[in-house]
Each structure stands twice: as structure tokens, then as C-alpha cells.
Amino acid sequence: MKWITRDRPKIDRIACPWLIKRFVDGDAEIIYAPYEAVIAQAEKLGAIPFDLPGVEYSHYDDQCTFDYIIKKHQLKDPALLRIAAIVRGADTDRHDFAPQSAGLEAIFSGLAYNIHDDHELLKVGMIIYDGLYSWAAHMFKNKHSQDGPVEQILLQVYHQFLKQEKGKKAPEWAETLKEMIQDQLDTSMFLSLQQATEELEINPAYLSREFSKYFDNLSFGDYMRKMRIEKACYLIESSCHTLTEIGYLTGFSDQSHFNRIFKRMIGQSPSAYRKAIKSKNHTSS
């Protein structure tokens, strides 16, 4: 069967062909075409269009086309569900969905920058997703460091505090988790509420619901973004790093995403903030 989508793929339009060829249609022929020509070419070639508005195989709510293919074809492989969270986070700029999302986006942003032939990019992408699948199926519980990865620390917090008697206005686990986030916020700090609750083996709705009560009335994702932007402000004020470097150091693999979130939370762009700091320091000196 022929499948067709927009050209210049990066995340979902590489992940979906991999999923189709590996789990849905082993003989699938993937076609990339300019956005405005996809539908006409689909009708002409008898191909299934995917990952564009107005077609069946597309985004729904906060889920991407990769999610829809899994649902549509009733794929039950747990490894695919783990990959789906990573792809969804990378494709929708929601790196709180999975800690690996930022890395996946960074990898394919770089590959798309270097490789201009869509099918050559897909060829490389197939290898990468085969590797990601092996990790998701057999190695996802392995930790790069055993000296206190965030997931294990969060597990320790849970067992130490969440199972204590309820009733305190601000439970100790909340204070400990707040300190833990503050102390360990660095380039590898991509806490995923979903992954954490899976490892904790508790209902994800509980921690999601309780979290905002003790963290500035913010959701888990919003609180993490707030902490990352606060660290960015600190780095702008106290270091000589470029704004691009600061974006990466605070977990933003895409510079425009960093600029957008920073301006939304601080009220001005990172460059304007840096100029204001320099002007203030110059005046005070």
C-alpha cells in the first residue's frame, strides 16, 4: 500500500513511516510531497494520506499521528506505547511527556538540517527508531548512572513520604520534591510525571492532582518550565554563555521554543532581558 505525507519530515513523519513499515504494512511505500499537493497525489496514486489536517491519520487533541496509528490498528506492544509518549512530546513541544523527547527532537532537528533528501532521512530514521524500539522493549529500566538518577530519587521520596499518614497541610514529600527539583535542575533534568508514576506503580492521577497543591498552583509541566526559566535568568545574569547555550543548558532543544516560553513567563525576550541586566550593571557601576 502507498502512504503519503508532507515533505521535509522531522519527527512524526519519520516515526509514522517506521511504525507503518514495522507493524502495520511491511510492504508500505512512503511518499513525500509538497503540502499543497498531498491530497491530489493521494487520490491520483491511491495512497493513504497521513499527518496533515483534515485526514483520518492525523493529530487528535494532544496526541499525534503516531498515537492514532497505534489506536487505529490496535497495537498493544508496551514498547510502542513508551515510544509514543516520546514522539508525542518531541512532535508537540511537550518535553514533559517523556524525558527522552527533547533528545529525540534535537537528534532529528540536526539530521533534518544535514540531510535534505527526505527518503535518505527516512532511511537513517528507520535505524534510529529500531534502536529506540530495542531500548523501549528491553532496556528502558536501565539507568545510565546508578548514583541517584532523578527517577530513583523520586521513587525514594515516594516510599519515604507518600506512604506516611495523610493530614499534614504540606506533606514532607512535597517539600523534599521541591528541594530535589531545585537542587538537581540541570541539562539531564527532564522529569516525566507519566514515567515517574509508572515506576512508582501508583495511579498517575493522584500525583498529578496533588502536585499543584504544593507547587505554586501549577501543573507538573508548568512548574518544571518555571524552574527552567528561573535557571535561565540566573545564567543570563551570572554567566557568559550565549543565549543558545543557555537554552540548551535549561532543557530547550529548540531556540524559538526557549524564546517563546521565556517571553511568556518573564515578559520580555531573553536578549532584551540580557540587555536590561547589562544596562542595570553599567548604571550601578
For the chain, the domains span 2-139, 150-215, 223-284
| HEC string for 101-146 | HHHHHHHHHHHHHHCCCHHHHHHHHHHHHHHHHHHHHHHCCCCCCC
User: What pLDDT score was predicted for residue 159?
Assistant: 53
Residue with cell 511537550: 94
User: What pLDDT score was predicted for residue 180?
Assistant: 55
pTM of the predicted protein model: 0.54
Q: Could you tell me which CATH number the domain at 223-284 has?
A: 1.10.10.60
User: What pLDDT score was predicted for residue 7?
Assistant: 96
Burial of 241 (C-beta count, 10 Å sphere; 0-12/13-18/19+): middle
User: What pLDDT score was predicted for residue 43?
Assistant: 96
User: What pLDDT score was predicted for residue 268?
Assistant: 95
- Let me know: does 247 contact 258? Beta carbons within 8 Å: yes
pLDDT tens for the chain, 285 residues long, are 999 999 999 999 999 999 999 999 999 999 999 999 999 999 999 999 999 999 999 999 889 999 999 999 999 999 999 999 999 989 888 877 888 888 898 899 899 989 999 999 999 999 999 999 998 888 776 554 444 444 454 455 545 544 454 455 566 656 666 655 554 444 344 556 665 666 556 577 777 778 888 788 888 778 888 888 998 999 899 888 889 888 877 777 678 888 989 999 999 999 999 999 888 877 765
Query: How far is the CA of 111 from the CAs of 11, 14, 259, 280, in angstroms?
Result: 11, 11, 22, 41
User: What pLDDT score was predicted for residue 207?
Assistant: 74
User: What pLDDT score was predicted for residue 148?
Assistant: 44
Say how far apart CA 84 and CA 179 lie, in whole Å: 31
Say how far apart CA 173 and CA 177 lie, in whole Å: 6
User: What pLDDT score was predicted for residue 196?
Assistant: 60
